[in-house]
């Protein structure tokens, strides 16, 4: 792979895209340069694994000696770990940048542990979600100063975690002692809707076809990894979330919905500007399924499967329109899971055991083949360069 540019250069020359003299000049210039210092994948894996092992070792060391230390010693140890890790990252920044990224990342993780352990050391009875907020502020400052992906990833995870923890505490305090089973799904539907829309906002970070910037690629990965779990969470809440939930006070419910729906829209606008309309479309798709949460779950029936198939088609259209293959893949996966769930829940029960298994096999073989053919065509159409 170190000389892969030579094969690409030869292909371009044979295709007539560049002149032979230009190709010779490029080859001579590349060969005159010193060998690239780009790290191989095994080295990067070793650095990442080393960072995880260092963090685990530090936590084990601290936990094994924690009881033998006094409060001042405990606090100094936590402070030394945070300062030492970030100081080590700053020391090797020029000579080995990947190691610096790993040390700064472990230092930011250690900051969160230090915040919560410091409260334990001094027996502070504080509002515990504030610890997540302080950790998020630290990660945000780290991202502003370092511009490294671990701080951005932690910031993208910690802000929703802080908002979710604040919501959980507020719901617990205001509904303590209220009668459960009132049929109000707001307590679970608010975080479910907020998480799903947040993942879609992260997934929408890259604009247009082509490679994304490192920061947007980090958000893309987080949104992609969280999209299917949060979609499943929303499905469960929309179908069964209101059976045992108490009725929330109107101001709390209004504030929760405003934050859950408006926060991702604001994030989408910050990331995409006027092109944030897909997040608004996702919110519009969310509202009918939200209405199902207050309705009769036994009467939902076929509409649920049709509506989730519409969501998959919207992801497909979005991916084709902007030339993003990952959105096409997610849309196709959502449609496939929706069809499979419909067959298992609605069709298999009406068939015999042998017929249902045969049908399931045909569904996997024929449906999987058809969806894969369609996916490849859509991806090829999405990534095809426009004619000049």
Does position 269 have pLDDT exceeding 80, yes or no?
Answer: yes
Does position 36 have pLDDT exceeding 90, yes or no?
Answer: no
Same domain, 319 and 384: yes
* Token pair for 232: 């499943």
Task: Name the percent of the chain lying above pLDDT 90.
Answer: 17
Same domain, 54 and 151: yes
Same domain, 49 and 144: yes
Pair 132, 100: CB distance under 8 Å:
no
The reported pLDDT for the residue numbered 191 is: 92
The reported pLDDT for the residue numbered 383 is: 64
Pair 142, 104: CB distance under 8 Å:
yes
Three-class DSSP category at 70: coil
How far apart are alpha carbons 79 and 118 in whole angstroms? 10
Same domain, 351 and 386: yes
Same domain, 246 and 332: no
The reported pLDDT for the residue numbered 1 is: 41
- Residues with Cβ < 8 Å from 213, sequence gap 6 or more? none
Does position 49 have pLDDT exceeding 50, yes or no?
Answer: yes
How far apart are alpha carbons 347 and 5 in whole angstroms? 53
Does position 233 have pLDDT exceeding 80, yes or no?
Answer: yes
The reported pLDDT for the residue numbered 154 is: 93
Domain-ending residue, one of 143, 167, 191 = 167
Domain-ending residue, one of 132, 148, 167 = 167
The reported pLDDT for the residue numbered 79 is: 84
Does position 204 have pLDDT exceeding 70, yes or no?
Answer: yes
Tell me what the mean pLDDT of segment 157-173 comes to.
Answer: 90
The reported pLDDT for the residue numbered 185 is: 76
Same domain, 118 and 81: yes
Model confidence band, residue 386 (pLDDT cutoffs 50, 70, 90): very low
* Token pair for 281: 């479309």
Domain total in the chain: 4
Q: Name the average pLDDT for the chain.
A: 80
Query: Which residue has better confidence, 40 or 6?
Result: 6
For the whole model, what pTM was predicted?
0.79
Tell me what the mean pLDDT of segment 131-143 comes to.
Answer: 92
Same domain, 318 and 372: yes
Nearest to 307 by CA among 283, 338, 349, 333: 338
Does position 363 have pLDDT exceeding 90, yes or no?
Answer: no
* Token pair for 165: 């923890």
Q: Which alpha helices (DSSP H) does the chain contain, by range?
A: 4-14, 20-32, 41-65, 71-91, 97-121, 129-146, 149-174, 186-203, 214-240, 250-272, 277-294, 302-322, 325-342, 353-362, 368-383
* Token pair for 17: 């895209």
Residue 207 backbone zone (phi > 0: left; psi -120 to 50: alpha; other: beta):
beta
Domain-ending residue, one of 135, 167, 199 = 167
The reported pLDDT for the residue numbered 388 is: 38
* Token pair for 41: 């994948």
Q: What is the CA radius of gyration of the chain?
A: 26
Pair 177, 233: CB distance under 8 Å:
no
Same domain, 266 and 351: no
The reported pLDDT for the residue numbered 242 is: 55
Same domain, 140 and 258: no
* Token pair for 130: 């504030």
Same domain, 125 and 181: no
Model confidence band, residue 244 (pLDDT cutoffs 50, 70, 90): low
The number of beta carbons lying within 10 Å of the beta carbon of residue 283 is 20
How far apart are alpha carbons 357 and 19 in whole angstroms? 60
Helix axes 277-294, 250-272, angle to 10 degrees: 160
Does position 73 have pLDDT exceeding 90, yes or no?
Answer: no
**pLDDT tens digit sequence for 94-117:** 888 888 888 888 888 888 878 887
Of 132-146, 302-316, 355-369, 371-385, least confident by mean pLDDT is 371-385
Task: Name the percent of the chain lying above pLDDT 70.
Answer: 82
The dihedral over CA atoms of 308, 310, 253, 136, expressed in degrees to the nearest 10, equals: 80
For residue 386, give the DSSP letter: P
Q: How many residues does the chain have?
A: 388
The reported pLDDT for the residue numbered 350 is: 74
Does position 249 have pLDDT exceeding 60, yes or no?
Answer: yes
Same domain, 79 and 10: no
Range of the domain at 30: 1-35
Does position 32 have pLDDT exceeding 70, yes or no?
Answer: no
Same domain, 185 and 222: yes
Does position 332 have pLDDT exceeding 50, yes or no?
Answer: yes
Does position 39 have pLDDT exceeding 60, yes or no?
Answer: no
Does position 10 have pLDDT exceeding 90, yes or no?
Answer: no
């Amino acid at each position: 792979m170190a000389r892969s540019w030579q094969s690409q250069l030869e292909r371009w020359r044979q295709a007539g895209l560049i002149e032979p003299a230009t190709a010779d000049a490029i080859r001579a210039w590349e060969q005159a340069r010193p060998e690239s210092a780009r790290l191989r994948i095994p080295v990067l894996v070793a650095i990442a694994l080393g960072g995880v092992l260092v963090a685990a070792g530090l936590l084990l060391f601290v936990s094994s000696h924690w009881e033998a230390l006094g409060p001042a010693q405990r606090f100094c140890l936590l402070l030394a770990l945070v300062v030492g890790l970030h100081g080590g990252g700053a020391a090797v920044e020029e000579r080995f940048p990947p190691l610096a990224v790993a040390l700064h990342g472990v230092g930011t993780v250690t900051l969160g542990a230090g915040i919560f352990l410091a409260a334990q050391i001094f027996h502070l009875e504080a509002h515990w979600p504030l610890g997540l907020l302080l950790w998020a502020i630290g990660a945000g400052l780290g991202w502003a100063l370092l511009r490294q992906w671990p701080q951005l990833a932690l910031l993208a995870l910690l802000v929703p975690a802080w908002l979710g923890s604040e919501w959980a505490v507020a719901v617990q305090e205001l509904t303590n002692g209220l009668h459960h089973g009132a049929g109000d799904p707001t307590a679970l539907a608010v975080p479910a809707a907020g998480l799903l829309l947040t993942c879609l906002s992260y997934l929408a970070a890259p604009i247009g076809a082509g490679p994304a910037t490192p920061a947007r690629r980090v958000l893309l990965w987080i949104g992609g990894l969280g999209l299917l779990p949060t979609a499943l969470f929303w499905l469960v809440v929309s179908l069964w979330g209101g059976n045992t939930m108490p009725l929330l006070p109107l101001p709390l419910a209004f504030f929760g919905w405003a934050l859950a729906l408006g926060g991702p829209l604001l994030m989408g606008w910050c990331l995409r500007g006027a092109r944030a309309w897909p997040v608004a479309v996702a919110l519009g798709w969310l509202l009918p399924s939200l209405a199902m949460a207050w309705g009769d779950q036994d009467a939902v029936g076929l509409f649920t499967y049709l509506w989730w198939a519409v969501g998959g088609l919207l992801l497909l259209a979005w991916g084709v329109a902007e030339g993003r293959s990952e959105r096409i893949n997610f849309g196709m996966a959502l449609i496939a899971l929706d069809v499979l769930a419909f067959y298992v829940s609605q069709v298999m029960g009406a068939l015999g055991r042998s017929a249902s298994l045969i049908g399931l096999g045909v569904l996997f073989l024929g449906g999987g083949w058809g969806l894969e053919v369609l996916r490849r065509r859509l991806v090829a159409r999405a990534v095809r360069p426009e004619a000049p």
